[in-house]
Amino acid sequence: MRNARIKYGNSDVTVIALYSLGGALRHIHLEDVAIKSAELAPKAFSWRKYPDQVNLETVRLSLKNELGLRSRRVIGSIRDGWMLTPNGLSWCLATLEPHLAESGANQFRNELSRYKRSEAFAKVTTDMESQVSEQDVNALLRIDEYFSPRNVRERIIALSNAAVVHTELMPLVQMLRVRGQVGLETEL
């Protein structure tokens, strides 16, 4: 964390834990977030009577409280898992020490090259956005008609998060927004 004097709240620690577990690209299970949060701030996420035990409820409430914020940093649920929003990713990149932020940004390297090789990217960047087909979008997001809405949303959020780190992807996010495929959770 960037400054040792900064006191992070429980919500901040859970967002950092989610980031360090790869929550910018996929949903992370509550228990994984809890274990990582306890590693980062042991006293904040342990039981009083049994300090070696992680208090899942504290982690769950921290994440759930984030959902109620206007510029929420996470999205998800106990059932689906938790994922960073573009606001959450931006906050992590601005807050964490450069080497920690860099390691998280490297998560997008493979996705970036795949996005840039897509037909949708080629058409959007050459002002042929109106010619982007549903098949192009499906190939971009690696989805098909059998994908659940949760998994489609996860792929769209991952693209939006990648656009935070690599701004050349913003035209793709804007195209999805115009088509109504991008929800409020991906607002920057």
- pLDDT, tens digit (0-9, with 9 covering 90-100), for 65-85: 999 888 899 999 999 999 999
Strand partners, 28: 82
Q: pTM for the full model?
A: 0.86
120, 37 Cβ separation under 8 angstroms: no
Q: Which 8-state DSSP code applies to residue 28?
A: B
User: Quick count: other Cβ atoms within 10 Å of Cβ 154?
Assistant: 22
Residues ≥6 apart with Cβ < 8 Å to 128: none
- pLDDT, tens digit (0-9, with 9 covering 90-100), for 6-64: 578 999 999 999 999 999 999 999 999 999 999 999 999 988 899 899 999 999 999 99
User: Secondary structure of 39-78 in the HEC alphabet?
Assistant: HHCHHHHECCCCCCCECHHHHHHHHHHHHCCCCCCEEEEC
- pLDDT, tens digit (0-9, with 9 covering 90-100), for 113-124: 899 999 999 999
- Structural domains in the chain, CATH included, are 10-96 (1.10.10), 108-181 (no CATH)
